Amino acid sequence: MILLDGKKTSADIKDEIAIEVSKLKEQGKKTPHLAAILVGDDGASRTYVNAKVKACEKVGFASTLVKLNATISEAELLAEIEALNINDDVDGFIVQLPLPKHIDEQKVLMAVSPNKDVDGFHPENVGKMTLNLPTFLPATPAGILELLERYEIETSGKNVVVIGRSHIVGSPMSILMAQKRTVGNATVTLTHSRTKDLESITKEADIIVVALGVAEFLKGDMVKDGVVIIDVGITRVDDSSKKSGFRLLGDVHFESVAPKASYITPVPGGVGPMTIAMLMKNTLLARAQNEA
C-alpha cells in the first residue's frame, strides 16, 4: 500500500508556481491576485479561507479577504461580487461555500464573472469543462487528477466508481475521468444515495473516489484487492486530546480499506491540500489570460 501524499505533492506544485511568479516579477509583470469572500463565521469555512490566503503568501500572490456578516442580504453580497468583477487589480476570486441558508447559492455563483471564476463553478465554465474545452477546472477534481498523474496511476480503461454526486466533486469528477485526457479514458460509474447494491459496484472498481460526506462509510469488505482509493471526506469529530478540539475523519474506513489498497489518500494530508494547490494554479492561469 502506497500513501498518495497530497501534502508533499501540493507543496511541490506550490514551489513550481512560486518559480513562475518570480519570473513574472523579474519581467516587471503584475503579481497574480486572488480574492475570497467569506460570509459569516463558520469555523471550518474560516479555516479553509485562511489556508487559501496562506497559500497565496507561499507562492507570492497578492490576496484579499472580504469578510461579510452572516446577516448580509443576498443583494448586498451580489454587490460585493460585482465590485470584484470590475476590479481590474483582482485576477480571480472565490465565494467560500457553504453560504448562509437565506442566500441562493446558484444565483451567487452565476454572478461571478466567468473569466474570474477560479473555482470553476459558473455554469458557463461547467459547460466548457463538460465539453472538454479550456476553462478553470473545479479545484478538488483537478487536484485528484493531478495526484493520479504525478503518481503515474493508469486510468485508461479502468473501472472508476465515484460515490457522491455533488456539483463540486462527484459530478465533475465523473465527467473528467470519462473524458479523453491524460488522466481519463476511464469507464465511470457515478453512484449516490439511491444507488441499489452499491457494494456489488464498488467491489468491481479499480479506482474509487469517495465524496459523500459520511465518516468512514467505505469499508474493507466493499473493495477488491489492489484498488486505488481517493478519499474526499473531511468530517470533524470531537477529540479533546487535540489542540483544536477535533480531528478529521475521511469517508473511508482507513483501517480496513488500506490493507487491500494499492494506493490510498490519507485524511488529512491527501486530497485537501491538493484542492488548495489547484486553486493557486487556476489563479495563475487567470492572470495569464488577463495578460493575453
Active site residues: 52, 96, 119
Dist. CA 44–CA 236, nearest whole Å: 9
User: At closest approach, how far in Å is the CB of 90 from ligand BQF?
Assistant: 18
Nearer to ligand BQF, 48 or 93 (CB): 48
35, 260 Cβ separation under 8 angstroms: no
Dist. CA 212–CA 248, nearest whole Å: 15
Measure Cα distances from 13 to 7, 30, 211 in Å. 10, 21, 23
3-state secondary structure of 239: coil
Nearer to ligand BQF, 92 or 206 (CB): 92
User: At closest approach, how far in Å is the CB of 234 from ligand BQF?
Assistant: 5
* Minimal CB distance residue for ligand BQF: 272
* Cell digits of residue 63: 490576496
User: At closest approach, how far in Å is the CB of 235 from ligand BQF?
Assistant: 10
User: At closest approach, how far in Å is the CB of 7 from ligand BQF?
Assistant: 6
Question: Which positions lie near ligand BQF, rule CB under 6 A?
Answer: 48, 51, 97, 234, 267-269, 272-273, 275-276
∠99-105-111 over CA atoms, to 5°? 115
Instruction: Report the Cα–Cα distance between both ends of the chain, in Å, rounded.
Output: 45
Phi, psi for 45 (deg, rounded to 5): -60, -40
User: At closest approach, how far in Å is the CB of 56 from ligand BQF?
Assistant: 13
Nearer to ligand BQF, 186 or 279 (CB): 279
Nearer to ligand BQF, 112 or 267 (CB): 267
62, 31 Cβ separation under 8 angstroms: yes
Q: Are strands 159-163 and 207-210 parallel, antiparallel or unpaired?
A: parallel
251, 218 Cβ separation under 8 angstroms: yes
Nearer to ligand BQF, 189 or 266 (CB): 266
